[in-house]
Amino acid sequence: MIRAKVIGTGSYLPDRVVPNEEIASQLGLTSLRIQRLTGIRTRHWAGDHEAPSDMAVAAGRRALDAADCAASSIDAIILSTTSPDMVFPSTACSVQRGLGCRQVGAFDVSASCSGFLYGLSMAQAMIQSGQAKTCLVVASEVKSRSLDPQDEATALLFGDGAGAVILRGEEDRSPEWRGILGIRLYADGAHHGLIRVPGGGSRTPLSPVRVRKQEHTLRMYGASLFRVAVRRIEQAVLEILKEFGVCLGDLEQVVLHQANGRILSHVADRLGIDQGRLASVIERYGNTSSASLPIALDDAVRSGNISSGNLVLLGSFGGGLTWATGLVRW
């Protein structure tokens, strides 16, 4: 049986580090108050010269290096972003050019913070159907440019960054299968208004009036999103564990979307996951939207918290409302 296996991970964070003090001065808050609300001390913001494609190329190169894989061997590029370089063409095509890959399929996925797992599911399907053998799945976000610096609900949360994995199809005849065991995707459009950028699409094109009203910036109903997200991800985690006959105690590491520290702690408490098995980079990087899961995954791999044979649970949730879970044996 062909298994889609993660053979390399990589990530990239911009050089500019933005501490809470810089955010607090515009919101009338203290840096300690921001940390208590979010679990965040610092986040990284892209420089003026950096676009999501640049960061995706850097993260992709690091994943290729970790996999000992040449760019020429990539058969498909799937890129998750809600902050693309431009409306079209796709940011993935710029990544294909930047990495020097062959003229392979490259496309973007827009599923908000769940986009990385949506993309990983597509890559798995391509591999198992025989369309591709090796895929680059990357998430890259520049959220700092869509923030209203005076909006407390969003200004203190978001950072920029990119994370990537190399997925390869390999024959697996071992009694304990390795690779992606399963990914489950969900959406509920009834909650699409909980987090969004209201202006800029063809329904509400940007105009001077809409810009003056800040409709080009990110808006979020944090409390409502918190409640819905926690319920949805908890239920989805329990369902995938039951489906594959896995107990929480079997998991070596749990890697969730790094929305904020309170949500991470709340989900972990409700599920009974101890902090030692919960990957967390929220304190250093903030919420990097769809890039947060692969960034946290790369950090866990490089720090030695994930190694060969480990069972790893992945989970994410975001605008749409979308959410997803995945189970991987490393």
Same domain for 191 and 92: no
Residues 19-38: pLDDT tens digits?
Answer: 999 999 889 899 999 999 99
Do both 109 and 225 map to the same domain?
Answer: no
Residues 160-172 pLDDT 10s: 999 999 999 988 7
- Tokens found for residue 327: 């189970």
- What six digits make up the tokens of 259? 């929305």
Same domain? For 106 and 133 the reply is yes
- The answer to whether residues 156 and 114 belong to one domain is yes
Of the given ranges (123-127, 142-146, 260-264), which has the lowest mean pLDDT?
Answer: 260-264
pLDDT score of 221:
81
Mean pLDDT for the chain overall: 93
Whether residues 98 and 18 share a domain: the answer is yes
> What would you report as the CA-atom Rg of the chain, rounded to the nearest whole angstrom?
19
218 or 271: which leads in pLDDT:
271
Among the three residues 171, 198, 232, which one is the final residue of a domain in this structure?
Answer: 171
Q: Using the predicted structure, report yes or no on whether residue 182 has a pLDDT greater than 70.
A: yes
201-249, pLDDT tens digit by residue?
Answer: 888 887 888 888 777 878 878 778 778 888 899 999 999 999 999 999 9
- Could you give the maximum distance between any two Cα atoms of the chain, in Å? 62
- At residue 319's C-alpha, the angle toward residues 184 and 31, to 5°, is 115
Give the per-residue pLDDT at 131.
Answer: 96
Per-residue pLDDT at 281 exceeds 80: yes
Structure tokens at 250: 């079997």
pLDDT tens figures, 56-104 = 999 999 999 999 999 999 999 999 999 999 999 999 999 999 999 999 9
Domain boundary among 126, 154, 171: 171
Distance CA(223)–CA(74), nearest Å, equals 42
- Give the pLDDT band of residue 175 (cuts 50, 70, 90): low
Query: What is the Cα–Cα distance from 33 to 29, expressed in whole angstroms?
Result: 6
Q: Based on the fold, state whether residues 291 and 158 are members of the same structural domain.
A: no
CATH code at 322? 3.40.47.10
* Residues in the chain, total: 330
- Using CA atoms, how far apart are residues 16 and 33, in angstroms rounded to an integer? 22
Give the count of domains, the chain: 2
**One domain, residues 183 and 100:** no
Q: Are residues 114 and 164 in the same domain?
A: yes
Q: How far apart are CA 198 and CA 177, in angstroms?
A: 44
**283, pLDDT greater than 70:** yes
**What letter represents residue 163's amino acid?**
G
Mean pLDDT of 292-305: 98
What is the value of pTM for the model shown?
0.96
Catalytic residues: 113, 257, 287
Domain co-membership, 264 together with 297: yes
H or E element: which one contains 6?
Answer: strand 2-12
Residue 214 is predicted with a pLDDT of 79
303 and 183: one domain?
yes
Residue 223's pLDDT is 75
Domain co-membership, 128 together with 35? yes
- 233, 234, 240, 253: which is closest to 329 by C-alpha? 253
Q: Which structural domain range is residue 283 located in?
A: 179-329
**Residue 71 shares a structural domain with residue 218:** no
Residue where a domain terminates, one of 146, 171, 196: 171
